[in-house]
Amino acid sequence: MAFSSSSSVPLIFLCFFTSLFLCNAFPPHQLQHHHNHKGAASHNYKDALTKSILFFEGQRSGMLPSNQRMTWRKNSGLSDGSAMHVDLVGGYYDAGDNVKFGFPMAFTTTMLSWSVLEFGGLMKSELQNAKEAIRWATDYLLKATAHPGTIYVQVGDANKDHACWERPEDMDTPRSVFKIDKNNPGSDVAAETAAALAAASLVFRRTDPSYSKLLSRRAISVFGFADKYRGAYSNGLKSYVCPFYCSYSGYQDELLWSAAWLHKATKNPTYLNYIQINGQTLGADESDNTFGWDNKHVGARILLSKAFLVQKVQSLHNYKGHADTFICSLIPGASFSQAQYTPGGLLFKMSDSNMQYVTSTSFLLLAYAKYLTSAHKVVTCGGNIITPKRLRNIAKKQVDYLLGDNPLKMSYMVGYGSRYPQRIHHRGSSLPSVAAHPAKIQCSSGFSAMSSQAPNPNILIGAVVGGPDAHDQFPDKRSDYEQSEPSTYTNAPLVGSLAYLAHSFGQL
């Protein structure tokens, strides 16, 4: 579970390279990898890609399929929705708890879809697994939006869920159902859900046209509802969704982001017109540089800049400038820099689940580098020219840090590398599996496992944890959810980045 903040910290100008010797011995331009670098890679990106997708199987709720690979997980939440006489079985648990939060689940789906749309052509055998991860979410989102004018946005009472430490298979906390409608609007969660459905419709367009059309039609109606009945969902549902997934940034960013996805998915001029008329009031040129489940401004800018750079939609030319502003805010030493990095070179936004911003930002850098390359463009930050190659290099350094090129020489992806977190903040992973311990583990008796120093008995392969602190330290302590909890929205953008890196080093 994550809290959000958009505070920016003045840039500490630091070297991205983990080895000071390399830093001093070679100028940075000699260390940058070429676009199609086939030399020796410092990491097995293909292995990391496989694991980053496998992680989603460990987060599944509902009736698990026969081809389930994360076999220590079993069926759970099979009566979800019954409290309101609707079928809400399925979907994903967001992190290490047993609640299904619709807002981050929809963002996860959008980012998994964007990962596949940009880099799926490079994924080879993993493409099918990535699509299955998306479909597990969209099948649920279709259920959550099946009744016009209503969206079911959460299953489970988070406060009561957090008072227990139990496996999803044993859940006995209330599976309360929370919804938005015209009387209790939630433009943020509704628009993000529409974005997820629209993005996924593009993923399935060729391989499952009828499913794609269903997703697209639903996206259109859900966006209409989000735009017509405006309001933040955490106003009406505050005691249930806050402080877990409060909408801190408002709903304007989601409306712009969602309209961008609908424009891309439907090619209907209505959405381009909507963006042109409403872009400014929805925050197109705000200077924030945090992209995550709460704030989509930067993602919308990058996505709309693609329409200008690649599809040559001239009326969106301003979005390249807006996207460039974001890029300049990240570049060490460039004018307008406002990003902070740890001494070891990790982008650092906040102490709670920082790695989600590392993975989302790295993805945006690689996607934008792709669009700039296509259009033969660069970014100008004051007097500095920033090439697509530079953006790729920065993104690679962030991913490499995550995979083990850091002061602790530790991978922050569970199951990748020789040293990785052993005591992640995750109920199912930390308690014995149903196969090992068939008897029910009661609500409070699980806390002995939570406070134990023993490694988790079930390895949640591919899970990326919250990560180290501002000083590159990581205690690997289960109770420390800020650093030790994984989440679906941390992994989703990483899938695209790993596919790109695995391909560029000839591993795929």
At 312 the pLDDT is: 96
At 42 the pLDDT is: 86
DSSP code of residue 442: P
The yes-or-no answer on residue 425 being catalytic is yes
Assign 3-class secondary structure to 50-104: HHHHHHHHHCECECCCCCCCCCCCCCECCCCCHHHCCCCCCCECCCCCCCEEHHH
Average pLDDT for consecutive 10-residue bins of the chain (508 residues)?
40 33 32 48 95 98 98 98 96 98 98 98 97 98 97 97 96 96 98 98 98 98 98 96 94 98 97 96 88 97 97 96 95 83 97 97 98 97 94 97 98 98 98 97 93 96 98 97 98 98 95
The yes-or-no answer on residue 286 being catalytic is no
Report the C-alpha gap between 18 and 370 in whole angstroms. Answer: 25
Which entry of 263, 322, 425, 426 is annotated as an active-site residue?
Answer: 425
**Cβ neighbours around 78 below 10 Å, total:** 13
At 338 the pLDDT is: 87
Nearest to 62 by CA among 143, 146, 2, 129: 143
At 33 the pLDDT is: 38
For residue 487, give Cα distances in angstroms to 166, 267, 425, 466, 482: 18, 32, 10, 8, 11
What dotted CATH number matches 20-504? 1.50.10.10
Report the C-alpha gap between 227 and 260 in whole angstroms. Answer: 13
For residue 49, give Cα distances in angstroms to 5, 23, 96, 182, 361: 29, 28, 21, 41, 17
Which entry of 426, 476, 482, 503 is annotated as an active-site residue?
Answer: 476
Q: Are 451 and 503 in contact (CB under 8 A)?
A: no
